[in-house]
Amino acid sequence: MNFTYPKQERLKSKTTIGLLFSEGKSVSKYPLRLVYRQVEANSNEKTKIGVSVSKKYFKKAVDRNYYKRVLRETYRLNKHLLWDNMQQPYSLMFFYQTKDKLSYEEINTKTAQLFEKFIQQVNKTSDSENKAEL
């Protein structure tokens, strides 16, 4: 597994981010939240992910940037959980939603749990869609 976070995996498109917030679904594992939306099958896009930390909870940019770096790093180390279990590409937005200052180890374990919960939810949704087609 390639443990990198290249530019092709970074979510930067304002239209895609807007669609995520208007049409996306969400899964949470305190203090993390993942908003996701399936990308159209005919496009050549890969799965893309963005990270966000609220200015409401961390007033100083230094603190926000630290937690964004931690989120990107935990994604980079745990992305194999997503890539091994996804059949179609998704747009993902990854949020840190608390003013509690958790350690890197706690955020890393929560990230792995969040990704497992996301995979279960996606597989459950795709199974129900497949049954509906039959």
Is residue 78 predicted with pLDDT exceeding 70? yes
Domain boundaries, the chain: 7-125
Q: State residue 86's pLDDT score.
A: 85
For residues 24 and 35, is the Cβ–Cβ distance under 8 A?
Answer: yes
7-125 maps to CATH 3.40.30.10: no
As a whole number, mean pLDDT of residues 65-75 equals: 96
As a whole number, mean pLDDT of residues 40-49 equals: 78
Give the distance, in angstroms, between the CA of residue 111 and the centroid of all CA atoms in the same chain.
Answer: 9
pTM for the model stands at 0.88
Quickly tell me which residue has 């949470």 as its tokens: 28
State how far the Cα of 66 lies from the Cα of 47, in Å rounded to an integer.
24
As a whole number, mean pLDDT of residues 48-54 equals: 95
As a whole number, mean pLDDT of residues 79-101 equals: 91
Question: Tens digits of per-residue pLDDT, 101-120?
Answer: 999 999 999 999 999 999 99
Between 126 and 57, the more confident residue is 57
Alpha carbon of 120 to those of 8, 27, 50, 116, 127: distances in Å? 25, 10, 21, 6, 10
DSSP state of 5: -
Question: Tens digits of per-residue pLDDT, 19-39?
Answer: 999 999 999 999 999 999 998
Q: What angle (nearest 5°) sits at the alpha carbon of residue 55, between those of residues 49 and 56?
A: 120
- What is the DSSP secondary-structure string of 31-67? TEEEEEEEPPTTS----EEEEEE-TTT--SHHHHHHH
Decide: residue 76, CB within 10 A, 0-12 exposed, 13-18 middle, 19+ buried: middle
Mean pLDDT value across the chain: 90
Place 132 in a pLDDT band, splitting at 50, 70 and 90.
low
